[in-house]
């Protein structure tokens, strides 16, 4: 049986700590989550009956700063998934040299089956349930799969109703509530920046490259938009309903204009329809999985034809598939580097909230590219010097920093 998501991440963590020769006392602290909250989240449904959901917040490691991580609503979300995502956040924040530890939250819920009122009620109920372990200097939430600026507003309001005005408890907020311009595009902008840096290191460049993107939500849409602006040709896109293929490349602004809220790609009349399985096997130069974990696994990896895979989603490539891709000479840019623009933008927003100083979009984007470039450089140097793949290099950089913070604080 394939390893679970969390077991897979633990495997990467163990591999990096062995290569870094991290001492056992520290290794134990890095391997295990600091705190796990698993709560009942009850609300009254629209018909007056009680609906009860499970909600989770896992705080993996806080040696370098307050815990930081997104909040996901998905019917398949469980504690194992949230644990794995929390661990990824620890290494991602450290790799980007952000003053945060790693956390993640999630609820086992299908938001498509809830009314707006029920979604708000469930968000407020969950926020109250975890309010004792979150806060601007304790644990800061952000959007993830199926959550957005509106959900973040409810989190902020529910928390602030008890603790007083606390915009810094959550990032990815609307601009009128302390959000910062640039944050919504930040994950996508970072993905494109890291893709360009990788291509440059490989002696190539983005203009003219044929790109396929799996997942057309907050991350995938902005990757498509920004990559196209920078000269890439977007030949395939997909969402949960399936995908669209256009070998000559989409007019991305026109495609985005057709995809309003709730509109699926299967309903769009441009390009040829194809399944997600077919999309992964398209002839292209760059494949960007931007949907969910394990999208590329042992069962479908043989179909992948792209020589470069950039992990915009968290853990979209299973360890088994990762090995097959490496054996086939495919370069894989790991999630904790590729999609770190989101948490980096969240760091700017948090800073802006704490200092009550507004950032301009120009400053935001300039700093974002600067942080991404530094993280890429350090990862690439480690990859070359230690002769390890990019994922192992990224884990090693992040882990070395967390391990040092653990030692300096006298935690181990």
- In the complex, the residues that contact ligand NAD under the rule CB under 6 A are 143-146, 187, 214-220, 238-240, 276, 290-292, 312-314, 339, 342
Q: Minimum distance from CB of 13 to ligand NAD (Å)?
A: 18
Sheet order of strands, 286-289 included: 272-274, 242-245, 233-239, 210-214, 286-289, 308-310, 331-333
Q: Which of 337, 95, 367 is nearest to 195 (CA)?
A: 337
What are 394's two structure tokens? 């990224």
- Separation of alpha carbons 170 and 164, rounded Å: 14
What DSSP character marks residue 171?
-
- Give backbone dihedrals phi and psi of 332, rounded to 5 degrees, phi first: -115, 120
- Separation of alpha carbons 235 and 374, rounded Å: 30
Residue with CB nearest ligand NAD? 217
What are 263's two structure tokens? 């509109």
139/239 with CB nearer ligand NAD: 239
Q: Minimum distance from CB of 377 to ligand NAD (Å)?
A: 21
85/397 with CB nearer ligand NAD: 85
What are 238's two structure tokens? 């997909």
339/353 with CB nearer ligand NAD: 339
Pairing relation of β-strands 101-108 and 242-245? unpaired
- Separation of alpha carbons 298 and 319, rounded Å: 9
Q: Minimum distance from CB of 265 to ligand NAD (Å)?
A: 8
Is 173 a known active-site residue? no
Q: Minimum distance from CB of 313 to ligand NAD (Å)?
A: 3
CA distances from residue 118 to 62, 77, 154, 303 in whole angstroms, order as listed: 33, 19, 12, 41
22/375 with CB nearer ligand NAD: 375
Q: Minimum distance from CB of 368 to ligand NAD (Å)?
A: 12
Residue among 68, 92, 104, 173 flagged as catalytic = 104
What are 89's two structure tokens? 């956040």
291/405 with CB nearer ligand NAD: 291
278/389 with CB nearer ligand NAD: 278
Q: Which of 339, 304, 306, 301 is nearest to 318 (CA)?
A: 301
- Separation of alpha carbons 392 and 386, rounded Å: 10
What DSSP character marks residue 147?
-
Catalytic residues: 104
């Amino acid at each position: 049986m394939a390893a679970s998501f969390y077991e897979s991440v633990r495997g990467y963590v163990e591999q990096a700590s062995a290569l870094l020769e991290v001492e056992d006392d520290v290794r134990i602290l890095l391997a295990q989550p600091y705190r796990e909250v698993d709560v009942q989240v009850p609300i009254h449904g629209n018909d007056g009956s009680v609906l009860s959901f499970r909600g989770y917040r896992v705080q993996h490691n806080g040696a370098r700063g307050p815990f930081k991580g997104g909040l996901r609503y998905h019917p398949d979300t469980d504690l194992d998934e949230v644990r794995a995502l929390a661990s990824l956040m620890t290494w991602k924040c450290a790799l980007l040299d952000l003053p945060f530890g790693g956390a993640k939250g999630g609820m086992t819920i299908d938001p498509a089956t809830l009314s707006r009122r029920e979604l708000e009620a469930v968000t407020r109920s969950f926020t109250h349930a975890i309010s004792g372990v979150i806060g601007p200097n304790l644990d800061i939430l952000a959007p993830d799969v199926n959550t957005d600026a509106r959900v973040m507003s409810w989190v902020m309001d529910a928390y602030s109703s008890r603790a007083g005005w606390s915009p810094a408890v959550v990032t990815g907020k609307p601009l009128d509530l302390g959000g910062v311009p640039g944050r919504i595009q930040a994950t996508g902008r970072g993905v494109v920046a890291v893709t360009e840096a990788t291509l440059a290191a490989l002696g190539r460049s983005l203009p003219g490259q044929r790109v396929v993107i799996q997942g057309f939500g907050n991350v995938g849409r902005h990757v498509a938009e920004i990559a196209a602006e920078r000269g890439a040709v977007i030949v395939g896109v997909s969402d949960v309903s399936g995908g669209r293929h256009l070998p000559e490349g989409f007019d991305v602004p026109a495609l985005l204009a057709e995809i309003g809220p709730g509109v699926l790609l299967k309903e769009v009349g441009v390009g040829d329809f194809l399944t997600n399985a077919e999309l992964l096997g398209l002839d292209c130069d760059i494949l960007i999985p931007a949907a969910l974990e394990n999208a590329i696994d042992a069962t479908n990896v043989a179909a992948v034809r792209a020589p470069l895979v950039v992990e915009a989603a968290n853990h979209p490539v299973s360890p088994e598939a990762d090995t097959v891709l490496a054996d086939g000479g495919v370069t894989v840019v790991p999630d904790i580097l590729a999609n770190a623009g989101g948490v980096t933008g969240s760091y700017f927003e948090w800073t802006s909230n704490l200092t009550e100083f507004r950032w301009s979009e120009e400053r935001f984007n300039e700093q974002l590219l600067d942080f991404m470039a530094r993280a890429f450089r350090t990862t690439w140097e480690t990859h070359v010097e230690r002769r390890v793949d990019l994922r192992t290099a990224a884990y090693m950089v992040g882990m070395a920093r967390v391990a040092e913070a653990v030692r300096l604080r006298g935690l181990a």
